[in-house]
């Protein structure tokens, strides 16, 4: 059997252009900084992961740059010389040595899973319990766009990729103007597709209770994190008063957070991001808590590139609790990928790649082209 000892941990900063600007509540991205992580085993096998946050440190306090510092200086020394099948013990040592920094930990968690699975000739999903499904539904997310551009992009995605569900970003401007924009878009589409909104935790209680009923009346089918992460009482009030499912994203960054949301009945759905939770192992704990509490799980994204998206896809395909679709569209937002083969998107779903590990390999020429000077 291939020697499973970790010999090297390599990190490379990439700047990958997006095919169009993507607007968040506080930031508009034109490229995605990605930290490509390679875990090399003594037997010659390499596994890959990505350090990615959605648009930069405004979201979770980390960036591709901080992740490189943490991995190179603190996590890699814990890993090197140990066998990759000691993954759970390595992760426990991470927690004893480095507080928080979940996005950085997720990147190496995924790379270790990829290397371990490749060394055994298995897929990553096999390390997570095996095959439950082969594909997952994909919701496409729009940035903050004018009405005509939003309608055009939705029509294009329907025609080309078969999407039936779309997420609309809010929270970057005047709530009244923002709400009117969404009402107009919903009216223009006439119920042709499912629409949901994401406020990125930018509204206070009074704003949410004023405008969310209007959005419900317009036919919005899901409210994602309308109010601040810590304010579970207001999220519960929205759940009980408005009658539209609420998805907790920023409120759930750990298994303990998921337990708090379940106890307070503050959401109907958990946005399960393998990145913000610290990797595949921690994500398994959150999925179990959600399932036990009767909450749905949505395969959410941090706008990962191909490797990070593939990791979340393997997790979703091995985890029955991920039962509320996904938004694993990150590679579709990139102008160009940096793998030898792309993930397959069609008919509104993304298909699980079939090769060993994550099922993807780097295109090193493209990696070099995107590498930061």
Q: What's 163's domain CATH number?
A: 3.20.20.120
Q: Is residue 49 part of a domain?
A: yes
Please, is 130 exposed, middle or buried when counting C-beta atoms within 10 Å of its C-beta (0-12, 13-18, 19+)? exposed
Measure Cα distances from 246 to 196, 201, 222, 227, 235 in Å: 10, 12, 6, 11, 8
Encode the chain (373 residues) as per-residue pLDDT tens digits: 689 999 999 999 999 999 888 766 667 788 999 999 999 999 999 999 999 998 678 777 899 999 999 999 999 999 999 999 999 999 999 999 999 999 999 999 999 999 999 999 999 999 999 999 999 999 999 988 889 999 999 999 999 999 999 999 999 889 999 999 999 999 999 999 999 999 999 999 999 999 999 999 999 999 999 999 999 999 999 999 999 999 999 999 999 999 999 999 999 999 999 999 999 999 999 999 999 999 999 999 999 999 999 999 999 999 999 999 999 999 999 999 999 999 999 999 999 999 999 999 999 999 999 999 8
Q: How many helices (H) and strands (E) does the chain have?
A: 15, 13
66 and 143 share a domain? no
Helices 102-120 + 87-97 axis angle, to 10: 160
* Dist CA 183 CA 179 (whole Å): 6
Chosen domain end from 122, 156, 177: 122
Phi-psi domain of 294 (left: phi exceeds 0; alpha: psi -120 through 50; beta: other): left
* Dist CA 35 CA 12 (whole Å): 6
111 and 36 share a domain? yes
Q: Is residue 294 part of a domain?
A: yes
CA nearest 48: which of 103, 87, 9?
9
Expressed as residue numbers, the domain containing 28 is 6-122
- 163 and 139 Cβ atoms separated by less than 8 Å: yes
Task: Give the CATH number, domain containing residue 67.
Answer: 3.30.390.10
107 and 216 share a domain? no
pLDDT of residue 25: 61
Can you state the percent helix, strand and coil of the chain, rounding each to 5? Answer: 45, 20, 35
245 and 335 share a domain? yes
Measure Cα distances from 58 to 12, 53, 109, 155, 304 in Å: 22, 9, 23, 31, 16
Chosen domain end from 104, 122, 140: 122
Query: DSSP states of 102-126 as a string?
Result: HHHHHHHHHHHHHHHHHHHT-BHHH
Q: Is residue 360 part of a domain?
A: no
Q: Is residue 372 part of a domain?
A: no
Q: Is residue 361 part of a domain?
A: no
Which among 169, 224, 273, 304 is annotated as catalytic?
169
Verify whether residue 327 is a known catalytic residue: yes
Q: Is residue 356 part of a domain?
A: no
86 and 199 share a domain? no
78 and 156 share a domain? no
143 and 48 share a domain? no
CA nearest 112: which of 37, 53, 43?
37
pLDDT of residue 126: 98
233 and 303 share a domain? yes
Chosen domain end from 82, 100, 122: 122
208 and 317 share a domain? yes
222 and 343 share a domain? yes
154 and 263 share a domain? yes
Verify whether residue 149 is a known catalytic residue: no
Q: Is residue 19 part of a domain?
A: yes
Q: Is residue 78 part of a domain?
A: yes
* Dist CA 324 CA 327 (whole Å): 10
10 and 97 share a domain? yes
- Total number of domains in the chain: 2
- 36 and 14 Cβ atoms separated by less than 8 Å: yes
């Amino acid at each position: 059997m291939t020697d499973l000892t970790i010999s090297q941990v390599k990190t490379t900063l990439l700047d990958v252009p997006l095919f169009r600007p993507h607007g968040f509540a506080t930031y508009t991205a034109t490229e995605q900084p990605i930290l490509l992580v390679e875990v090399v085993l003594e037997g010659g096998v390499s596994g890959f992961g990505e350090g990615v946050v959605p648009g930069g440190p405004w979201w979770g306090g980390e960036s591709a740059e901080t992740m490189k510092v943490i991995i190179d200086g603190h996590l890699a020394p814990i890993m090197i010389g140990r066998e990759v099948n000691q993954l759970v013990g390595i992760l426990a040592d991470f927690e004893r040595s480095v507080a928080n920094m979940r996005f950085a930990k997720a990147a190496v968690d995924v790379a270790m899973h990829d290397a371990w699975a490749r060394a055994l000739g298995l897929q990553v999903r096999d390390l997570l319990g095996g095959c439950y499904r082969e594909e997952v539904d994909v919701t496409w997310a729009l940035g903050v766009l004018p009405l005509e551009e939003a309608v055009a992009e939705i029509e294009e995605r329907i025609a080309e990729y078969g999407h039936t569900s779309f997420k609309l970003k809010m929270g970057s401007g005047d709530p009244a103007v923002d709400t009117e924009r969404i009402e107009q878009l919903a009216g223009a589409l006439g119920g042709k597709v499912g629409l949901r909104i994401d406020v990125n935790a930018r509204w206070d209680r009074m704003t949410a209770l004023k405008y969310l009923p209007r959005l419900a009346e317009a036919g919005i089918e899901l409210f994602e994190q309308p109010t601040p992460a810590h304010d579970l009482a207001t999220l519960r009030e929205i759940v009980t008063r408005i009658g539209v499912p609420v998805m907790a994203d920023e409120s759930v960054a750990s298994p303990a957070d998921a337990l708090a949301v379940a106890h307070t009945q503050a959401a109907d759905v958990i946005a399960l991001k393998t990145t913000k939770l610290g990797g595949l192992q921690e994500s398994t704990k959150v999925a179990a808590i959600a399932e036990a509490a009767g909450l749905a799980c949505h395969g959410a994204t941090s706008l990962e590139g191909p490797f990070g998206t593939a990791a979340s896809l393997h997790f979703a395909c091995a985890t029955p609790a991920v039962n509320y679709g996904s938004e694993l569209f990150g590679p579709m937002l990139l102008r160009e990928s940096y793998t030898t083969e792309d993930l397959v998107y069609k008919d509104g779903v993304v298909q699980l790649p079939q090769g060993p590990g994550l099922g993807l390999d780097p295109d090193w020429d493209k990696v070099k082209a995107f590498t930061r000077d």
